[in-house]
Amino acid sequence: MTDAFWDERYRTAELIWSETPNQFLVSETADLTPGRALDVACGEGHNAIWLAEQGWTASGTDFSAVGLEKARALAGQRGVVVGFELHDSTTWAPPARSFDLVCVFYLQLPEPERSAALVNAMAGVAVGGTVLIVAHDVDNLAHGVGGPQSADVLYSVDEVADLVRSSGFDLVKAHQVFREVRTPSGETARAIDTLVRAVRRKEA
């Protein structure tokens, strides 16, 4: 999907996504010491803003200028400073090894754009730093609810884990995780995500 598509989707008075942080961001950063953090494809900025509220020096990038406008407004309302920048994750890489935490949440792209974006994001992780990737899993099509309905843009744990290892990281976690979601009928159902967390090796 293009930046124009997302600009149009974000062009609403209300937020498209929740103001609350992703539940896996909260759980997977609980044992980390705040430092420099980057949220790639940050959308309206709720994850980067939450990181700033926890004491991280937080930045966020996205290719939607409208989404970033909403992110800056939300950061101002919440009283935190976050550096939001306009970048396309498939062609832009952050400064090499500059962040203690790089997050990529629900960046649902087909190949080869998906791998390019993830490799670019991982380039920004410092030695000893963490990359955290969460996305809609391919098994969600048959066994979960919600999310994209095209397998081309869905992730698998093994594929992401292999890419992360080959990029100079040691895996901490690589498995499917489950989210409770509300269906249109008001019932509670389960969505299936890929979660990969890893630390950059010192020798890489």
In tens, the pLDDT along 63-102 reads 999 999 999 999 999 999 999 999 999 999 999 999 999 9
So where are the chain's domains?
Answer: 34-200
**Count of residues for the chain?**
204
Percent of the chain with pLDDT over 70: 91
Q: What angle do CA 103, 107, 112 make, to 5 degrees?
A: 115
pTM: 0.91
Distance, in Å, from the CA atom of 189 to the CA atom of 178, rounded to the nearest integer, reads 10
Q: What b/e sequence results for 99-110 when a residue is b if at least 16 CB atoms lie within 10 Å of its CB, and e otherwise?
A: bbbbbbbbbbbe
Q: Is the pLDDT of residue 183 over 80?
A: no
Nearest 5°: the CA angle 86, 28, 108 is 45
Do 46 and 18 contact (CB within 8 A), yes or no? yes
Here the tokens at position 68 are 């970033």
d(CA 49, CA 82): 7
> 34-200 has which fold?
Rossmann fold (3.40.50)
pLDDT of residue 1: 57
Q: Does residue 103 surpass a pLDDT of 90?
A: yes
Contact 195, 176 (CB under 8 A): yes
